[in-house]
Amino acid sequence: MNPYEAKQAARRARYEDRADAARHQADSIHAQARKMAEAIPFGQPILVGHHSESRDRNYRNRIHDTYGKAFAMQDKAGHYERKAASVGKGGISSDDPDAIEKLKAQLRKAQAVHELMKKANALLRKHRNDAHAAIAALTGLDGITEATARRLIEPDYAGRIGFASFELTNNGANMRRIAARIKELERAESREAVEKSGEGYVYREDPEENRAMFLFDGKPEKATREILKRHGFRWSPTRSAWVRQLTGNAQWAARQAMQELEAAAAQ
């Protein structure tokens, strides 16, 4: 487990802990609401006009509100459980130090699938008039089961067999996307640290952290914060800076933000 994966595991554990705490709190509040409700005899209506009417209504409202708090806490637990389940499911992050190797493995897999689809379609063209020979040839390919082979020889609504052209097209586009991402990350690895001083701030590019960031001595004014937000920078308490992931777009946005900050300071 590399440092990034360890960080993701810790993040998942934090969400799971929050979900457990919220679930226990929900159970406790729900038990409290049930205990409150047991004080009212089953089926006992509010005695309208009785001196106890107001007190009884208030007590029943408190029971209702307590149940509501329990249900809200259950929703909160579910929220953190979903967040825990989603950690690490968003694809390969550029922050992962093993991102390039993982993307290369992903590219090799996509290339293998592409070759498999092309070979399968070639075999189907060769054995178009012999279903048994086609199935035998297809199952001889690594990665194609007999069930898949039988599906491939079945014509679609247009009478076409094999892997559809759009499947090859989509996989080709995916390979190009992965290859472009690998090149982008390889370029990022060769970046050097950058630091520029401006009016009341320091702009820094940190290739190791993969972040572009603005640092201020104190909390910047609202107008300054709006400029940073408009260009995609967000406050990071852990870094005590306004940051975004270090990409070509982030560098362009940083230049635009610095121009606006300098113009605002000159007014």
pLDDT tens by residue, 69-105: 999 999 999 999 999 998 888 788 888 888 999 999 9
> pLDDT truncated to tens, each residue of the chain (267 aa)?
778 888 889 989 999 999 999 999 999 999 999 999 988 887 788 778 887 788 888 999 999 999 999 999 999 999 999 999 988 887 888 888 889 999 999 999 999 999 999 999 999 999 988 999 999 999 999 989 999 999 999 998 888 899 999 999 999 999 999 999 999 888 887 888 899 999 899 999 998 888 999 999 999 999 999 999 999 999 999 889 999 998 889 999 999 999 999 998 887
Q: What is the pLDDT of residue 187?
A: 84
User: Is residue 211 within 8 Å of 244, Cβ to Cβ?
Assistant: yes
* Residue type, position 186, single letter: E
Q: Among all chains, which residue has been given the structure tokens 């080709």?
A: 172
Pairing of strands 201-206, 194-198: antiparallel
**Where along the chain do its domains lie?**
3-86, 99-187, 194-266
The closest alpha carbon to 140, from 120, 168, 114, 125, belongs to: 120
Q: Which residue carries 């090799």 as its tokens?
A: 108
Q: Is the pTM value of this prediction over 0.85?
A: no
Predicted confidence at residue 167, as pLDDT, reads 94
What whole-number distance in Å separates Cα of residue 192 and Cα of residue 207?
Answer: 7
